[in-house]
Amino acid sequence: MSSTFRWICESTDGQARAGTLHTAHGPVQTPTFMPVGTAGTVKAMTMDAVRSTGAGIVLGNTYHLMLRPGAERVKRLGGLHKFMDWSGPILTDSGGFQVMSLGALRKLDQDGVTFQSHIDGSKHRLDPQRSTDIQHALDATITMCFDECPALPAAPEAIAASMRMSMRWAARSREAFIQREGYGQFGIVQGGTEPELRAESVKALTDIGFEGYAIGGLAVGEGQELMFSTLDVTTPLMPNDKPRYLMGVGTPDDLLGSVMRGVDMFDCVMPTRAGRTARAYTERGHINLRNARFALDARPLSPHCDCLACTRHSRAYLHHLFRADEILGPMLLTWHNLAYYQRLMRGIRAAIVDGTLEAHAAHLRAEWQAGDW
Ligand X SMILES: CNc1nc2c(CC[C@H]3O[C@@H](OC)[C@H](OC)[C@@H]3O)c3nc(N)[nH]c(=O)c3cc2[nH]1
User: Which residues are near Zn ion by CB under 5 A?
Assistant: 305, 307, 309-310, 336
Closest to Zn ion by CB, 146 vs 341, is 341
| Residue 72 CB-density burial (10 A; 0-12 exposed, 13-18 middle, 19+ buried) | exposed
Q: Which does 149 bind (CB under 5 to 8 A by kind): Zn ion, ligand X, none?
A: ligand X
Q: Which does 188 bind (CB under 5 to 8 A by kind): Zn ion, ligand X, none?
A: ligand X
Interacting positions 182-241 with ligand X (CB under 6 A): 188, 216-220
Closest to Zn ion by CB, 80 vs 310, is 310
Residue 345: CB minimum distance to Zn ion, A: 15
The catalytically annotated residue of 13, 139, 147, 267 is 267
Q: Which own/partner pairs from 150-153 qualify as long-range (CB within 8 Å, at least 24 positions apart)? A: 150/100, 150/190, 150/192, 150/217, 151/100, 151/220, 151/221, 152/192, 152/193, 152/217, 152/220, 152/221, 152/222, 153/222
Please say if 93 is a catalytic residue. yes
The catalytically annotated residue of 13, 93, 254, 297 is 93
Residue 33: CB minimum distance to ligand X, A: 12
For residue 22, the SS3 value is strand
Residue 311: CB minimum distance to Zn ion, A: 8
Total count of residues recorded for the chain: 373
Please say if 85 is a catalytic residue. no
Closest CA to 173 of 235, 232, 216: 216
Phi and psi (nearest 5°) for 220? Answer: -120, 35
Site membership for ligand X, residue 269 (CB under 6 A):
yes
Residue 116 belongs to what H/E stretch? strand 112-116
Site membership for ligand X, residue 267 (CB under 6 A):
yes
Closest CA to 7 of 146, 186, 180: 186
Site membership for ligand X, residue 142 (CB under 6 A):
no
Q: How far apart are CA 269 and CA 36, in angstroms?
A: 6
Interacting positions 288-327 with ligand X (CB under 6 A): none
Residues that bind ligand X (CB under 6 A): 36, 38, 59, 61, 93-94, 96-97, 144, 147, 149, 188, 216-220, 247-248, 267, 269
- The residues that are catalytic are 93, 267
